[in-house]
Amino acid sequence: MAAALDGLGAVLDPLAQRFAAAGFELALVGGSVRDALLGRSMPDLDFTTDARPDDIERLIVGWADAHWDIGRKFGTIGLRKDGYQIEITTYRTDAYAGDSRNPEVAFGTSLDEDLVRRDFTIGAMAVRLPGRVFVDPFGGMEDLEAGRIRTPGTPETSFGDDPLRMMRAARFVSQLGFEAAPEVVAAMREMAGRIEIISAERVRDELVKLMCGARPWDGVDLLVATGIADTVLPEVAGLRLERDEHHRHKDVYQHSLTVLRQAVELEARYAAAQEAAGLDADDPQRLAPPDFAVRFAALMHDVGKPATRRFEPGGAVTFYHHDVVGAKLTRARMRALRFDKDTIATVSRLVELHLRFYGYGEAGWTDSAVRRYVTDAGAQLTRLHILTRSDVTTRNRRKAERLAFAYDDLEARIAALAERERLEAIRPDLDGTQIMAILGIGPGRAVGRAYAHLLEQRMEHGPLGPKRAEEALRQWWAQQPEAQA
C-alpha cells in the first residue's frame, strides 16, 4: 500500500496539510484504501473528515481544479484535482427509518464512529493523514487476505441501516471473487424483504456494477439463494422452477448462469479480435468490456421459459415462443428498474433474437436469410454473436462442435457478404427522390410502399444496380391501384 500512497503524494500531502493547518482531521477511507491494498488503479479517491461541508468547501476552493456540492446535504463535497475524482465527506451515520426510501443522515465526531457505519470490513479501513497511519479496527485486512465479505458490526445492524448493502455484498462477490461470510448470507436471507424500500434507481446502479464484475454469475447466484432476487430480478429467480426431477430437460437456471459465464469469456475474445483488427473505436459493433448489455441479455435470455413450458406426449418438453415472451418480460423488468430506453431496447432485442440462428446448420440459409439476420441484429450483431455462441451449454461434444462449426460458417458468410455489399448499411438501390422522379408522383404513402418493395428486392437478391432496380420498380408500380387511376 505504501507504494500506492507514494504515487498519490502530490494529491494527498497538500490536501492533508490544508486540513491539518485548519485544525481538522482527514483520512483516506473505504474503497480507496481497499484498492490500494489490492494494487488496483485508484482514479477515484474518498476521504472523511470532522470538518463540516462549509469548511471542506472553504479549504479546497483555490486548490481544486473544480468542485461541486451536489452531495452537500449528505455531508459530501466533490472535486477534481490532477485528473482524480475526489469526494470528501464529513464523519457521519445514516440509517433508513421504517419504510423510507432515503437514508437519514447525522454527522459524526470521530473516525471510529464513521468506520463502524460502513458496509463491510474491507471498506472500513482508513489511512490517517498527513501521518499515513493505517487504521483497521474491524479486521478488514484479515478479511481482504481471506477473500471474505463481513460487516463491521452485526450484519443485521448494517443491513438495517441500509438494505442496499445486501446487494452490495453480491456486487463484491462478483467484482472481487470473494465469498460472503455465513452470518452475512443468513442475514441477507432473513432481511431480503427490506430491499423493497430501496429506490429502483439505486437497485439498478448496484445491479449494473454486479453484472460488470469479474464473476457476475456468483453475484447473481447469491441474490437468488438469499431471496433478494425474488424482488429485484424475479424472472431470474423464477427459472429455478424449471428444475425437472425426471431430467427431461436441463436446469434452466444453472444453464443461464453458464451462458452468462461463457458470454463474459467470449466478450473478452471478441473485443481482443476487434482491437487486433483495428476496428474504429466509434464503430457501433465495437465492444468495450465489461459490456452490460450482452451480459444481462445472457442472464435474461430464457426468462420466457416458465410461461411457455409445455409437456408433450412422450415426455418431451417445449418452450415455443419463449424468445418473444422473454423479450417482453425483460423489457418490463428493465423499465421497472428505470433503465434508459436505449439499453432496454438493446437487451430486449438480443433476448428476442437469441434463437434466430438455430436451424442454420441443418437447413442452410440463402444469402437473403443471412442479410436478414444481419439487418435484424443491426448494431447488436457482435453482441448477438456472443449471446448465440454462449447459449451452447450441451455436454454432447459432437453437438457442441457441430453448432460451433455452423456459427463459424455463418460469421464467415456474413463477412464475405459484407465485403461484397457493405451489408451493414443495406438500403434500396433507389432513394425516395429517385422513386418519385421515375414514377412521376409526389410525396405520400405510395413512395413508402415503393421504397419497402425495393428494400425487399435488395434483401432477396442483393444489389440490383440503378437500371434493374428501375425495372423492378416499374413492374411493381404497374400492379398498384394508383397506376390504374
What pLDDT, in 10s, does the model give residues 232-288? 999 999 998 655 444 444 589 999 999 999 999 999 999 999 999 999 988 999 999
How far apart, in whole angstroms, are the C-alpha atoms of residue 414 and residue 420? 10
Return the residue matching grid coordinates 434500396: 428
Give the pLDDT confidence score for residue 360 in this predicted structure.
Answer: 78
Phi, psi of 294 (to 5 degrees): -70, -35
> How far is residue 367 from each of residues 163, 262, 374, 414, 453, measured CA to CA in Å?
53, 29, 11, 9, 18
How many CB atoms sit inside 10 A of residue 82's CB? Answer: 10
Domain spans, the chain: 1-146, 147-232, 262-425, 432-484
Is the Cβ–Cβ distance between 299 and 261 less than 8 Å? no
How far apart, in whole angstroms, are the C-alpha atoms of residue 76 and residue 242? 47
How far apart, in whole angstroms, are the C-alpha atoms of residue 119 and residue 138? 12
Give Cβ neighbours of residue 421 (< 8 Å, ≥ 6 apart): 371, 462, 463
Q: Give the per-residue SS3 of 66-78.
A: EEECCCHHHCEEE
Give Cβ neighbours of residue 472 (< 8 Å, ≥ 6 apart): 453, 454, 457, 464
How far apart, in whole angstroms, are the C-alpha atoms of residue 481 and residue 485? 7
Q: What is the pLDDT of residues 426-454, one digit of tens each?
A: 788 899 999 999 999 999 889 999 999 99
Pairing mode, if any, of strands 44-49 and 84-90? parallel
Is the Cβ–Cβ distance between 331 and 233 less than 8 Å? no
Q: Which residues of the chain have pLDDT under 70?
A: 94-104, 241-250, 361-363, 421-425, 485
Give the pLDDT confidence score for residue 248 in this predicted structure.
Answer: 46
How far apart, in whole angstroms, are the C-alpha atoms of residue 211 and residue 294? 10
Q: How far is CA 285 from the centre of its chain?
A: 17
Give the pLDDT confidence score for residue 106 in this predicted structure.
Answer: 81
CATH C-level class of 147-232: mainly alpha
Is the Cβ–Cβ distance between 171 and 155 less than 8 Å? no
Per DSSP, what are the bridge partners of residue 105? 94
The CATH H-level (homologous superfamily) assignment of domain 1-146 is Beta Polymerase, domain 2 (3.30.460.10)
Q: Which of 140, 191, 139 is nearest to 165 (CA)?
A: 191
How far apart, in whole angstroms, are the C-alpha atoms of residue 124 and residue 116? 7
